[in-house]
Amino acid sequence: MKKKCIAWLLIIYGIFLFFTCKHTDKQEEEAPIFLLDSTYVRVNIVASHLDVPWEITSGPDDEIWFTEQSGKVNKIDAKSGHIKTLLTLPNLYRERTAGLLGMVTHPNMSETPYVFIAYSARKSDQVHVSRVVRYTYEADTLVHPLTILEYPAWKGHFGARVAIAPDGKLIIATGDGAQNENAQNLASPNGKILRFNIDGSIPSDNPFPNNAVWAWGLRNPQGLVFSPKGILYNSDHGDATDDEVNIIQRGGNYGWPKIAGYVDSQEERLFAQDSILAPPLHAWTPTIAPAGLAYYASAEIPEWKNTLLLATLKGNSLYALPLNKEGTKADTVYHFFERTFGRIRAVYASPDGTVYMATSNRDWNPNGFAEENDDRILQIKKVDKSISTANLVLKAKIASNTKEMRSEGEILYTNYCASCHKPNGRGLTGTYPSLLHNKVVEGETAEFIRLILHGKNEMPSFSFLNDKDLAIVLSYVRKKFASKGRQISKDDIKKERVNR
């Protein structure tokens, strides 16, 4: 009887595996194929209906590990799609961008089974903190938490990426907490790249004695990755201008809030006279909202070898920055999968050349309508050219041609306003005001212009735009969203600049 039961169990398990494999094969067959430059790739959905996946990495079992902002650390078998939750955080503080964010597994998990996570927690109803905590991977779960770092939490600008350096040190990227002065204050952990030993102590060779600061002057660094050469790269959200990718140097000052991007204004030049600053590897204006960052080392996809892959939220695409041989310059930028999968929060390049991306279409600030199965983890995998010829092939590398299709006002609005106020002008309730029948938009022209020139609260200044562009975009806003209010001229802008 016992042998019969075992036999039946084996048969049932075999049937389960058969149909699971068939289901996976069918999913792969139906997944779209894209042409990069010369390489064909298939983009498979390996996980769906997730609650804002924020980090992707690999674990000791060759499975993909990821975090969800809701507080779960998971691992997934990319072939079967089976997800196992390793940890659900208690006392999580989640609001806007707060929650469970970054994660890194130790590269030698067999001997050092540590996992480091960055998240925000409730200490009480009124007190919220940001934490970086070390867990031990044991019996297929995460146990024995050790707090490495704890500091005040705000509602935004967390940074919160973590990495393990080639020398075994723990590297933490922190945002300024939307408190600009933090970034240049060496006594504050905010707006920094921090360096710790994995036991939480401070290395003796840090730039400042008994201080975890490795580099400073950052706003909201959401990308952090080492190359095989040991070069540390990061991505950083700018304000109204100058999103950045940087090479992080020991003791480097990246300028925020005194300098955004390159030193190219009189005010920035005055600050730079007395400071040793590290210029960005690349900077973007209009902004693209750069998030996760990966280094592609494999030869599997030749056009991406020795390239930084950058997830973008506002950019709605995967950016590729090919590096020179030394890894110190990136003169060209390419966009892949533009407006195909929506907001991209995280990207991970596995050693075998497979790339994984996480969408962020159901987060606090969506810029479009989420798909029914969002959020998702997507797998980008090379396929043989013979397979691609039997399928519909889509172009992954899309050259934007929007200037021919849209007015100048719409282009400026899309580049500088739509990420907050949305394409329909309705904003985000409780955070970004609607422009429809807005009292400021429809009110006194001078007051409207002054708000745009000088900014207010979370709204940055747009004084860097020239008079012509400001007049065009403000006139577009009034025409598109207001029921009254005259069109705005260059002379109107110039008058308010002088009256400042």
Indicate the DSSP class of residue 450: H
Average pLDDT of the chain to the nearest whole number: 87
Whether the per-residue pLDDT at 1 is higher than 90: the answer is no
Q: Is the pLDDT of residue 278 over 50?
A: yes
174-219 per-position pLDDT tens digit: 999 888 889 999 999 999 999 999 999 999 999 999 999 999 999 9
The CA distance from 239 to 224, in Å, is 19
Domains and CATH numbers, the chain: 31-395 (2.120.10.30), 406-498 (1.10.760.10)
pLDDT, tens digit, 9 for 90 and up, residues 115-163 = 999 999 998 888 899 999 999 999 999 999 999 999 988 878 889 999 9
Residue 312, pLDDT above cutoff 90: yes
3-state secondary structure of 308: strand
Rounded distance, CA 89 to CA 103, Å?
13
Length of the chain in terms of residues written: 500
pLDDT 10s digits, 405-432: 467 877 788 778 887 888 888 888 877 8
Q: What is the pLDDT of residue 20?
A: 43
Q: Taking a C-beta distance cutoff of 8 angstroms, is the pair 40, 387 a contact?
A: yes
pLDDT score at 26:
45
**DSSP H helix total and E strand total for the chain:** 10, 27
* pLDDT in the model for residue 116: 99
pLDDT at 352: 94
What are the two backbone dihedrals, phi and then psi, of residue 113, each rounded to the nearest 5 degrees? -80, 55
Helix (H) or strand (E) holding 480: helix 467-481
Q: For the CA atoms of 15, 33, 359, 296, what is the dihedral angle to 10 degrees?
A: 100
Q: Does the structure show a pLDDT above 60 at 9?
A: no
The per-residue DSSP string of 98-134 comes to -SEEEEEE-TTTTT--EEEEEEEEESSSS-EEEEEEE
Question: What is the mean predicted confidence (pLDDT) over 38-63?
Answer: 94
Confidence check: pLDDT of 305 > 90: yes
